[in-house]
Amino acid sequence: MRWKWVRAAAVALLVPLAVIACEAFDELDDLDVINENAPDTERALGTPGDIEALISSGFGTWLEATQGPTGLGLSTAGDELSMSWGNMAIKDLSSEPRVAWNNSSSYNYRYVSDSRGWRRPYRALSAMYDGLRAFDADPTLAEQIDFDRAKAYAKFVQGLAHGWIALQFDSGFIFDETVELETEVLYLKPYPDVMAAALGYLNDAITLAQQGSWSLPVSWINGNAFTASDIARLAHSYAARFMAQVARTPAERADPTIWQTIISHVDNGITADIEIVGQNSDPWDDWIKWGGAQVGRTWGRADYKTIGYLEAGAGLGYDNWLATPVAQRLPFDLDIPDRRVTPGPPPHTEFVSEGLDFGHWGQPNHPEARGTYHWSFYGHHRYRNFPESGDIDPFVIMTTEEMDLLKAEGLARLGQAGAAALVNNTRVNRGQLPQATDGDADLLEKIFYEMQIENFNVCGGCPMFNRRGWGGLQPTGPSHHFGLVTGTLVHFPLPGSELEILQKKAYTYGGENKEGSALVACGGLPTEPCPGGSAAPAFGAAAAAGSGVPARLVYRFNGLRTTAEKLEFIRGETHYGLGELRRYR
């Protein structure tokens, strides 16, 4: 695993920032400002090979947002993994009581939000923009490549990129090849609008792929020569995941109008797990499995709030742990019948007692001063092959079990038969637990637990995005729940560095009663104090005036003219070795 920091981004944004630095915010959408470094796409992308190279970078660039350090940080915010290192903002996102997200442009771990979570998707969108615009400007170029493949893939990437923005952030810009870079003003849209756009692009990709008979080169989604039919199925599955996970509250997640569509997407989705071949460097790397599946005392452990559910209400160690004041909690042996987690009743022997997916690894070496409530005896070894291979083995990013459990959730919420059978595929066959039935009063809870165990360490953000819709914001004790811990931000604000570039007011989320559960128009741009002292982005009519920004400030390739320069920008950050990550803080 190599740590990669963005230096080129600062250079790329210096010119537009210098142009607007002396302007008032209300003048930011003044399109008379000359952009001396606007890319000449007709000249820079003059060959079909150039265009394909840029378009083909899209999935990998997007993957750096989801499976990179952002994904590892969000796993701890969602109480999947537990540790207290400073890296990846882990301590700040998972310590209790929860605190506000540090949205300063000088924060050490801002990359969880800005360079990874925000800029990678918009970098992918900028690459799709250039490629599709070049084909539009010179249709003869499209005749020299498999244009149908390139366009379907580009639409797929546009769906993924907008989908991630809608999942992680409260709002975003909708940016595609129809935007006029030098004349158009773009406006921030709240996350439901951004997700609606994402689903539209995925549907476009599905339609185009279903009409095709092509295959992707294995380098486009590393190690996979996906056919057009495969891409259509993959787009269906991402649509299903996105539609479920975009919810910020249990009420949004329970909305009966979405679940039949989710079920349809699952039925038309993947039929095998999706794996990427690792290369021990971005973009083909998985920080979640690197930090969450290393057998040892150093990195991530399995949070008791995920693996302890089957002890809840039994008066055993998990109940006692939840009833103990947070600062006084200590790790304990679980006594649960799930053979994925433990091999049998305690006592368990460290590095000997192993369930199918988890093992007892003894006490971690996480700093005691940062809270022993972060400690857990149990770690997740299902994907240990990835870190043990030096990050070159295939790593899974989506499973058929996840899709089955999404369908089960939909069937249960709609009162339709068949949910229990899907749950039992893993609950009984892998966990050796008693069969669930469609009539179980706690069927949804069983589905949630199965999703947590089967999807452990699979996909970036999934534990946090699922929890905010499953159970809302609740204290970390004295009872078990499937929601986020009170004070956890339910989504991120626009990164502080972007707010400075766009000349918008600073704001953030996190801390009790300031989690950002709803977007409230309180009269300012982008925020004003709302009742109770919280702050939330405003998208009301009063806020819309002056909220636009020139489209070129959303575009990530300002000042870069050739494909070579753009690809170097995408892949050219400074590399840091594992030694840098092992300087624990």
Q: Is 285 helix (H, G, I), strand (E, B) or coil?
A: coil
**pLDDT in the model for residue 46:** 65
CB 238 within 8 A of CB 158: no
AA letter at 296? G
Give the whole-angstrom CA distance, residue 27 versus residue 31. Answer: 9
Give the whole-angstrom CA distance, residue 271 versus residue 37. Answer: 46
Stretch 351-377: mean pLDDT: 96
Instruction: Provide the phi-psi class of 71: left if phi over 0, else alpha when psi is between -120 and 50, else beta.
Output: alpha
Residue 345 sits in the same domain as residue 233? no
Give the whole-angstrom CA distance, residue 486 versus residue 512. Answer: 6
Residue 143 sits in the same domain as residue 178? yes
Among the residue ranges 2-16, 217-231, 539-553, the one predicted with the least confidence is 2-16
Report if residue 298 sits inside a domain: yes
Indicate the pLDDT class of residue 548, thresholds 50, 70 and 90. confident
Instruction: With CA atoms as reference, report the closest residue to 116 among 242, 239, 283.
Output: 283
Give the whole-angstrom CA distance, residue 291 versus residue 81. Answer: 9
**Where does residue 58 rank: exposed (0-12), middle (13-18), buried (19+ CB within 10 A)?**
buried
Q: At residue 95, does pLDDT exceed 70?
A: yes
Residues 6+ apart with CB under 8 A from 148: 208, 211, 212, 214
Residue 236 sits in the same domain as residue 319? no
Handedness of CA 186, 191, 196, 197 (dihedral sign): positive
Report if residue 220 sits inside a domain: yes
CB 380 within 8 A of CB 292: yes
Residue 530 has which token pair?
């709302």
Residues 6+ apart with CB under 8 A from 118: 165, 168, 169, 494, 495, 498
Residue 298 sits in the same domain as residue 284? no
AA letter at 538? A
Count of domains in the chain? 2
pLDDT digits (tens, 9 = 90+) for 292-330: 999 999 999 999 999 999 999 999 999 999 999 999 999
Q: Peptide bond preceding 478: is omega within 30 degrees of 0, i.e. cis?
A: yes
Among the residue ranges 27-36, 94-103, 363-372, 450-459, the one predicted with the least confidence is 27-36
Q: Which of 340, 356, 382 is the last residue of a domain?
A: 382
| Phi, psi angle pair for 548, to nearest 5° | -80, 155
What DSSP designation does 210 have? H
Residue 256 sits in the same domain as residue 329? no
Burial 549-570 (b: 16+ CB within 10 A, else e): bbbbbbbbbbbbbebebbbebb
Residue 280 sits in the same domain as residue 174? yes
Report if residue 430 sits inside a domain: no
Give the whole-angstrom CA distance, residue 361 versus residue 348. Answer: 9
Report if residue 522 sits inside a domain: yes
Instruction: With CA atoms as reference, report the closest residue to 88 among 60, 115, 120.
Output: 115
Residue 86 sits in the same domain as residue 216? yes
Domain residue limits at 277: 3-288+491-581
pLDDT digits (tens, 9 = 90+) for 43-52: 456 688 888 9
Rg (CA), the chain: 23
Residue 148 sits in the same domain as residue 268? yes
Residues 6+ apart with CB under 8 A from 207: none
Claim: this prediction has a pTM higher than 0.85: yes
Report if residue 138 sits inside a domain: yes
Report if residue 347 sits inside a domain: yes
**pLDDT in the model for residue 564:** 82
Residues 6+ apart with CB under 8 A from 420: 408, 435, 436, 437, 438, 440, 443
What DSSP designation does 281 have? B
Indicate the pLDDT class of residue 521, thresholds 50, 70 and 90. very low
Q: DSSP H helical segments within 375-433, as ranges?
A: 385-388, 400-414, 419-427
pLDDT digits (tens, 9 = 90+) for 367-423: 999 999 999 999 999 999 999 999 999 999 999 999 999 999 999 999 999 999 999
Report if residue 445 sits inside a domain: no
Give the whole-angstrom CA distance, residue 585 versus residue 325. Answer: 25
Residue 108 sits in the same domain as residue 192? yes
**pLDDT in the model for residue 534:** 38
Q: At residue 1, does pLDDT exceed 80?
A: no
Residue 139 sits in the same domain as residue 224? yes
Q: Which of 343, 363, 382 is the last residue of a domain?
A: 382
CA-CA-CA-CA dihedral for 565, 569, 570, 575, to nearest 10: 130
Instruction: Please give the sequence-ordered ranges of beta strands (E in DSSP) within 278-325, or none if there are none.
Output: 301-302
pLDDT digits (tens, 9 = 90+) for 167-206: 999 999 999 999 999 999 999 999 999 999 999 999 999 9
The CATH number of whichever domain residue 84 belongs to comes to 1.25.40
Give the whole-angstrom CA distance, residue 515 versus residue 8. Answer: 33
Instruction: With CA atoms as reference, report the closest residue to 482 among 466, 503, 502, 494.
Output: 466
Residue 245 sits in the same domain as residue 209? yes
Residue 119 has which token pair?
């800029």
Residue 274 sits in the same domain as residue 366? no
Q: Which of 382, 398, 414 is the last residue of a domain?
A: 382
